[in-house]
Structure 1
């Protein structure tokens, strides 16, 4: 029997790569986005494009119902939709904070909550929430984004214990930074004026050091592979790291002392200013 995956945010970047990989490996794919574009993927009888806005509960319910009607069941949910943003805490107004959380946190929570009854009824399922390496190695200028993703990490682990008895797995995919995606650009309009001049030298030093740091970045293909592993792995595992930069941060965070971790992070982002 062919398995079915529903993926949010498939119009570009990680979501598009994830959807294409599942298609290539013989799955039924429910590729969702706010405004479905039939030109994004090649035609396939195993592909269904659906409108889904994760900030709209009715939209979530319609997409799930349509997916079940089309393929009979949804075996895996991949919550990939998200917004990137850079800012400093002092300059970020409440409405922008809420906007980021609506998509990155509350939208993920709502989609999880909506799919659970269907998965409990069928006695199986996998829920995969795509977060970020910034939840492992916390970086400057992304406090709001990191907070929104860290909240997802917390509720996903808690939810994993709640759902295990029903045959449902809840998992995290933690991607690194992929310069080839549109992720940061999608949050661009929200970022205007959110790094004031007083922070200019610090921000420039941070961006320069991140750009020049001697490690390879993440790719869309790596995130897709990690997501497929999370969907098919029989191990009782929570986290799936994607990208060499994520693995570097994980090693630094989880295998060294806090003092060494903090010193390394300061050196990585703004050594001249943070010294």
Structure 2
């Protein structure tokens, strides 16, 4: 049985991906900032560990507790929606600490063991916003776009050691707590000058033409993990697929 470590499993894509691999006889290490032992069904193949991707000590502890890792899925992330000019720089740094530097830190921590074994897979979950940047998400898009370039370069760098790197690009999922998992309220980030501009955008968020299901992302991760070609990008969800083919 192979072992997969997934970050950000308390809800959403990470939780569903953990369920998906657990149901297919993988050893699953589901990590969360605050572990919830009831988040997933009890199984001898499951471990739930604490992990803060912005804390190097927490990363080291989780990697050591896991042991050999066949697949790392960097899923943990935070979102922010609002006018860029009204988004505090402190919060922008927080977004990059988790979405960009956290992914890089986790990746750097697992590369040595994968390189030595000459086997392994790193899957980075980004966003369809990298395919078609949307308004009111400049900082978030930038944090995910950085990981797109990082992963593409990394894939070339690691192929010599038979270690692969892939991207999963989810579309918009209304069930994902995109902007609720931060300390900044959305309404604080929409100055009055942007109100008329923002209104139809938020209406579109509320009634999207197409959406992404959490199972779509879990299946895309599964497909990425089992892909043996040089393919880099795996869009997930009807809306992401439409953007991918239109790009």
Task: Give the aligned CA root-mean-square deviation in angstroms.
Answer: 1.2
Alignment-derived partner of residue 225 in structure 1: 219
Gaps of 5+ in 1: 254-275
Identify the match of residue 69 of structure 2 among 74, 79, 83: 74
Instruction: Give, in angstroms, the shift of residue 17 of structure 1.
Output: 0.1
Contact 1:13 1:183 in 2 (8 A): no
Q: Secondary structure at the match of 2:180?
A: helix
Partner of 1:256: none
The alignment's TM-score, normalised by the length of structure 2, stands at 0.97
Q: Which of the pair has more CA radius of gyration?
A: 1
Please say if residues 13 and 75 of structure 2, whose CA atoms lie closer than 8 Å, have aligned partners that are also in contact.
Answer: yes
CA apart distance, 1:151: 0.3
C-alpha separation in 2, matches of 1:209 and 1:51: 36
Query: In the alignment, which of 146, 159, 164 is matched to residue 164 of structure 1?
Result: 159
- Within the candidate set 160, 175, 180, 1:180 is matched to 175
Map 1:18-167 onto structure 2 (within 5 A). Answer: 18-68=17-67, 73-167=68-162
Q: Which residue of 2 is the match for residue 250 of structure 1? A: 244
Match of 1:193 in 2: 188
Deviations 1:48-82 (A, max 9, x none): 111110000111111011100xxxx2100000000
The alignment of Structure 1 onto Structure 2 pairs a total of residues equal to 247
Deviation at 1:134, TM superposition (A): 0.2
Offset at residue 87 of structure 1 (A): 1.3
Q: Tell me, in whole angstroms, the C-alpha distance in 1 between the residues paired with 2:185 and 2:118.
A: 41
Q: 1:62 to 1:203 in 2, by over 3 A?
A: same
1:240 aligns with 2:241: no
What is the deviation of 1:12? 0.3
Residue 189 of structure 2: SS of its match in structure 1?
Answer: coil
1:192 shift after superposition = 4.8
Once residues 160 and 216 of structure 1 are traced to their aligned partners in structure 2, the CA distance between those partners, rounded to angstroms, is 31
Structure 2 regions of 5+ residues with no counterpart?
none
Separation of aligned partners in 2, 1:209 and 1:12: 24
Kindly tell me: are residues 211 and 182 of structure 1, through their superposed partners in 2, closer, same or farther at Cα, counting changes over 3 Å? Answer: closer
Cα separation, 2, equivalents of 1:171 and 1:208: 33
Give yes or no for contact 1:33–1:52 (8 Å, CA) kept in 2. yes
CA change 1:129–1:59 in 2 (3 A) is same
User: Cα–Cα, structure 1 residues 96 and 221, in superposed 2: closer, same or farther, change >3 Å?
Assistant: same
Q: TM-score, normalised by structure 1?
A: 0.87
